[in-house]
Amino acid sequence: MQQPQHPELDLGPVRALLLDADGNLFASEEPAFAASTGVTNDFLAWLGSDHHWEPADLQAAALGRNFRSLAGDLAAEQGVTVPDDEMETWVAREQDVVTRHLAATLVPDPAVSDALRLLADRWQLAVVSSSALGRLAACFTAADLDEVLPVADRFSAQDSLPAPTSKPDPAVYLLALERLGLAPHEAVAVEDAVSGARSAVGAGIPTVGNLVFVPEPERAERRRALLDAGVVAVVEDWDELVDLLGLQEERRTEVSA
């Protein structure tokens, strides 16, 4: 079997792949920010700001972070202290709007699910996300990924930690390592966003950047940014990740069967 050619990716001790969700396992970024923009603009108005985001600008500014993190930054910029109960109301509203939209929008992608099932034959798979567990549940069901990535193997920076946070804070990756009984070198993370890559790298985990759902005009810039964030390699899609991880022969056998 051909082995991965990247010198910094030693798969010998690896026991698990830790996978970001949004923009990595399904094309959820654009519909999520389209749904989130209205809530974000309402929150800005509540803060006393007259600024209004367009979905593309909001996505560029907040990619890889959850609404709680973004809202906290927006409030700080306005010099407004948001009471905890008020923040929870806004977070719940945004989560509800986005979750319902994603549940109605996402569809299964065989290129992703086939690669995941192949990878799951070799390594344990887990999800490490900034998104809330409720949103993840709707996405995984819509994308038909519940079987390969069940609820017990999902970690949320929003819901799984004692105090909610968001990538690039490495806390959610550190939690996943602890719960799975892994040292950092016993895992490989797969991330599409720079903030997610910084989170995984900050936890000491070898990380691969994945451009699978990044629009073509943005790929060269995203590749550079991911490499600057410390990833050991960048792939174009899940097929290339399978090749990088040395499972070409298994894929050829599966295709020919």
Residue 214 belongs to a domain with what CATH number?
3.40.50.1000
Residue numbers of the domain that contains 221: 16-28+107-256
Same domain, 74 and 22: no
Is the Cβ–Cβ distance between 230 and 208 less than 8 Å? no
The span from the CA of 192 to the CA of 244, in Å, is 16
Task: Give the per-residue pLDDT at 4.
Answer: 41
Last residue of a domain, one of 46, 80, 105: 105
* Domain assignment of residue 71, yes or no: yes
For 134-173, the pLDDT digits (tens) are 999 999 999 999 999 999 999 999 999 999 999 999 999 9
| DSSP annotation of 16 | E
Same domain, 154 and 78: no
Same domain, 87 and 185: no
* Domain assignment of residue 163, yes or no: yes
Same domain, 118 and 46: no
For 59-108, the pLDDT digits (tens) are 888 877 889 999 999 999 999 999 999 999 999 999 999 999 999 999 99
* Domain assignment of residue 64, yes or no: yes
The span from the CA of 246 to the CA of 14, in Å, is 13
Q: Is the pLDDT of residue 21 over 90?
A: yes
Same domain, 80 and 119: no
The span from the CA of 243 to the CA of 240, in Å, is 5
* Domain assignment of residue 1, yes or no: no
Same domain, 47 and 159: no
* Domain assignment of residue 3, yes or no: no
Task: Give the per-residue pLDDT at 8.
Answer: 73
Q: Is the pLDDT of residue 34 over 90?
A: yes
Q: Is the pLDDT of residue 22 over 70?
A: yes
Q: Is the pLDDT of residue 256 over 50?
A: no
Q: Which pTM was predicted?
A: 0.86
* Domain assignment of residue 203, yes or no: yes
* Domain assignment of residue 90, yes or no: yes
Average pLDDT over residues 210-236: 97
Same domain, 228 and 114: yes
Same domain, 81 and 120: no
* Domain assignment of residue 10, yes or no: no
The span from the CA of 235 to the CA of 212, in Å, is 8
Write down the mean pLDDT value for the chain. 93
The span from the CA of 157 to the CA of 161, in Å, is 6
Same domain, 63 and 175: no
Number of folded domains that form the chain: 2
Average pLDDT over residues 127-133: 96
Q: Is 137 left (phi over 0), alpha (psi -120 to 50) or beta?
A: alpha
Last residue of a domain, one of 73, 90, 105: 105
Same domain, 99 and 156: no
Same domain, 204 and 162: yes
The span from the CA of 133 to the CA of 131, in Å, is 7
Map tokens 């603009």 to a residue.
41
Q: Helix (H, G, I), strand (E, B), or coil: what is residue 124?
A: strand
Q: Residue 105: what residue type?
A: T
